[in-house]
C-alpha cells in the first residue's frame, strides 16, 4: 500500500480538513501508486500562512550563522538521502535517473551555497554561483510567500 503523506503546518504533520486524498501514479507504470497526498483546501492554506507569519519574527531574529547551520544541515540530510530523493523524482515525474539525480544535486548545492551566504547579510556585491549573473544582497524581508513546486 502506498504511503499517505500529510501537510506540515506549525511543526506538525496533519491531514487536510477536507479529509480527502489523491493518488499520484508512476507515469512509467500507471498502475503503480507512488503515494497518496492531501487534497488540501483554502482553509489549510490559510492555516499554513498564519503559522508561517507567526514564525517569521523568530526566524528574523535568528542570527545569520545559526540560519546557515540550519541550511547546512538540510543540505547534508538531503545529500545523505540523495538516492532516495532521486528515486522519488523518477517514480513521481518519470524523469530519467541522471536528470533526477542532477536536480537533487542542484538542490543540495543551493542549500550549501545559501548556508554560506547567510552570514553575508548586507548590501554588498558577491560572486554569483553561475556565470553571466550579478549577485548582490539587500536586507529586505519579503514576508511569507507561497510556492507551488513539483
DSSP state of 143: -
Q: What is the pLDDT of residue 57?
A: 85
pLDDT at 97: 96
Domain boundaries, the chain: 1-58, 62-121
38, 5 contact by CB (below 8 A): yes
- Phi, psi of 32, deg, nearest 5: -85, 120
Q: Are 78 and 104 in contact (CB under 8 A)?
A: yes
Full-model pTM: 0.76
The pLDDT, as a whole number, for residue 38 is 97
Walking along the chain (150 residues) 10 residues at a time, the average pLDDT comes out as 92 96 94 95 94 90 92 98 96 93 96 88 64 70 75
Between the CA of residue 124 and those of 6, 61, 120, 121, 127, what are the distances in Å? 40, 21, 8, 8, 10
Amino acid at each position: 500500500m502506498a504511503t499517505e503523506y500529510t501537510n506540515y503546518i506549525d511543526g506538525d504533520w496533519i491531514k487536510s480538513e477536507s479529509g480527502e486524498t489523491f493518488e499520484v501514479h508512476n507515469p512509467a507504470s500507471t498502475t503503480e501508486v507512488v503515494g497518496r497526498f492531501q487534497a488540501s483546501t483554502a482553509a489549510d492554506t490559510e492555516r499554513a500562512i498564519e503559522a508561517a507569519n507567526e514564525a517569521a519574527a523568530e526566524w528574523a531574529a535568528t542570527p545569520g550563522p545559526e540560519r546557515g547551520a540550519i541550511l547546512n544541515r538540510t543540505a547534508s540530510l538531503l545529500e545523505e538521502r540523495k538516492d532516495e530523493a532521486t528515486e522519488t523524482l523518477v517514480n513521481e515525474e518519470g524523469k530519467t535517473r541522471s536528470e533526477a539525480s542532477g536536480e537533487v544535486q542542484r538542490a543540495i548545492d543551493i542549500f550549501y551555497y545559501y548556508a554560506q551566504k547567510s552570514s553575508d547579510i548586507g548590501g554588498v556585491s558577491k560572486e554569483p554561483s553561475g556565470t553571466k549573473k550579478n549577485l548582490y544582497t539587500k536586507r529586505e524581508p519579503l514576508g511569507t510567500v507561497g510556492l507551488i513546486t513539483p
